[in-house]
Chain A
């Protein structure tokens, strides 16, 4: 479900659960669906800044059941972080999903 940097203090499980729930509600469900209508585009990126930190949630259309979450200090360079996270998302997808994603990008 979630993994964290082992060099950092492990957050309490309830904090990880809340993070996971927030990501799920931002990238699926009624808020997400309504946002897709408002933007007239698939919503695959959610960013929340509160409590002195930035939470980033990414979802690739190639693996709609997966999402990548990153928690950054609020002084982080968000755009640079997003570039890193987007470029790395395929690398952490399961192998079969990655193959599907690759095939999707290449087309039939």
Chain B
């Protein structure tokens, strides 16, 4: 199975008719797959994404960079007051292209050599820049999900190697957290899994999740032990799903 077949298979899985299954964040997964594909593409390629209605978005990729992104709504979004090529591409990616992916019930991808010669002055946008931009303002700390988790908490302890290196939040909740850390913190750490290079998290809650949830988010040797509002759980989980830039 070639790279394109694998990507198509993944897209079909993410966007296919999964009536019997529960899925969300499909767009995030597709974006992640596309960024990986761009990162692995050296020679010029034109990738065409088509939805179930036949609407298309075209990505021109070369040298591990996204050189151009066109499709419905891209012209308006990508031209307004933006002279920088990367800024135009990011605007289209975050706007009409994201909407296209969100709304599609089915997505397929085709790829071929671009019909026209690539202008060598086209610099486009690197995957690194694109990834950083897609995280968005206000979520810049997603590269550090531990810090981001503390930001979402009512109270939080930042741990490194089992030692508390930072505290945030109100005193009453912090006291409860410190008490937990002393008794069950190490045990929860052993259950939550710290030995991967991807963020991991564990949540404990009561039946109604009426007051708060207890959570531990760990990444690259650091961890956040937090009490958070129940409604923050989706955002906390998203922190662990986001692609994280490589270390170093």
Contact = CB atoms under 8 A, between A and B. Distances in A.
Contacts of B187: 25, 29-31, 34
Contacts, number: 129
Nearest to B180: A38
- Of A29, A39, A74, chain B has the most CB atoms within 10 Å of the CB of A39
A45 interface: yes
Interface residues of A, number: 38
A51 interface: yes
Nearest to B173: A38
A48 interface: yes
A68 to B, nearest CB: 13
B200 A51 contact: yes
Nearest to B26: A75
Interface stretch (A9-17, A79-87, A98-106): A79-87
A47 B202 contact: yes
Nearest to B187: A31
B23 A37 contact: no
A34 B179 contact: yes
B169 to A, nearest CB: 13
B165 interface: no
A69 interface: no
Contact of B180 (A35, A48, A76, A77): A35
A76 to B, nearest CB: 5
A93 interface: no
Given A47-B202, A79-B234, A37 B193 contact: no
24 contacts: A26-B191, A26-B204, A31-B191, A34-B179, A35-B204, A38-B180, A39-B227, A40-B176, A41-B206, A43-B204, A43-B206, A44-B207, A45-B204, A46-B204, A48-B201, A48-B203, A50-B193, A50-B198, A51-B196, A75-B25, A77-B22, A78-B234, A80-B22, A81-B22
